């Protein structure tokens, strides 16, 4: 299958709602105890779910999902240096699992930045060889850095673009004006991260602002799978992203 065909599975009408559920490697986190139940609730609403390979191969329902599967290739734990990501998977394995894409995490400014940049560059070439879309999750995360700083976010999206990613996930800068400038720095689709758990109104406002600024969608995990009603939250995100609604009530 070509990269273009795979991209269409989760980048529909140029927009996408992704739900990363790869947090369990970093640390045990509430909301993922019944991960299959959450996946079943939001399947058919979201466009893609991001999982580590172990979850993807152990949950039978993954093969039945209507939405796309993106296999995450990076990991670290909270017990040492959470910003120092290493590769724990391969593009070839993701293909064998039936994935439509892979993702890799890069923290600019971290102590192992050079290793993470190298991994991004190499994985992007392997993805090109196999026709596999690559989602690069790139953040400015180092001592003294503000990951929402517009100049740093511009740098992040440019790095993803220059090193061969097909889609980049990064932090929202906090307002439409500055994020509109960020969008100009990459010729690939940009999705915003949800970050830490927030109130409904705050996260939905940020999503609406990002879409109006030119983002193509969202990759939001905790604010969906930790929500009291994940399906309702996923529906709200879908309406904002795919229908360009400004205000949605969960």
With 0-12 / 13-18 / 19 or more C-beta atoms within 10 angstroms meaning exposed / middle / buried, residue 188 is: middle
Instruction: From the candidates 139, 161, 166, 239, give the one annotated as an active-site residue.
Output: 139
27 is an active site residue: no
The Cα–Cα gap between 151 and 179 comes to 10
22 is an active site residue: yes
* Token output for 211: 């879409």
Of residues 44, 13, 69, 9, the one with CA closest to residue 235: 44
**Max Cα separation, the chain?**
44
Phi, psi of 46 (to 5 degrees): -85, 165
Calculate helix-pair angle for 113-130, 150-162, nearest 10 degrees: 40
Instruction: From the candidates 85, 169, 172, 239, give the one annotated as an active-site residue.
Output: 169
Buried b (16+ CB within 10 A) or exposed e, 123-140: bbeebeeeebbbbbbbbb
169 is an active site residue: yes
The Cα–Cα gap between 169 and 77 comes to 20
Non-local (6+) Cβ contacts of 130 within 8 A are 91, 92, 95
Calculate helix-pair angle for 230-243, 35-42, nearest 10 degrees: 40
Active site residues: 22, 139, 169
């Amino acid at each position: 299958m070509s990269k273009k065909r795979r991209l269409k599975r989760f980048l529909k009408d140029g927009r996408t709602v992704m739900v990363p559920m790869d947090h369990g490697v970093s640390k045990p986190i509430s909301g993922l105890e019944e991960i299959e139940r959450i996946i079943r609730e939001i399947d058919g609403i979201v466009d893609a779910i991001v999982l580590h390979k172990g979850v993807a191969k152990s949950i039978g329902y993954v093969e039945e999902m209507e939405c796309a599967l993106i296999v995450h290739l990076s990991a670290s734990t909270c017990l040492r240096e959470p910003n120092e990501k290493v590769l724990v998977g391969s593009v070839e394995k993701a293909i064998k699992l039936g994935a439509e894409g892979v993702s890799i995490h890069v923290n600019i400014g971290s102590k192992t930045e050079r290793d993470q940049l190298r991994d991004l560059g190499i994985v992007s070439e392997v993805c090109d060889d196999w026709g596999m879309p690559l989602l690069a999750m790139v953040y400015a995360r180092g001592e003294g850095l503000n990951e929402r700083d517009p100049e740093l976010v511009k740098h992040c999206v440019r790095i993803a673009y220059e090193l061969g990613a097909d889609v980049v996930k990064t932090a929202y800068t906090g307002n439409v004006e500055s994020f509109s400038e960020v969008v100009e720095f990459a010729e690939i689709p940009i999705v915003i991260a949800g970050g830490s758990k927030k109130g409904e109104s705050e996260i939905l406002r940020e999503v609406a602002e990002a879409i109006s600024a030119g983002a193509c969608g969202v990759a939001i995990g905790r604010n969906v799978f930790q929500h009291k009603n994940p399906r309702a939250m996923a529906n709200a995100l879908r309406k904002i992203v795919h229908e360009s609604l400004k205000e949605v009530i969960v």
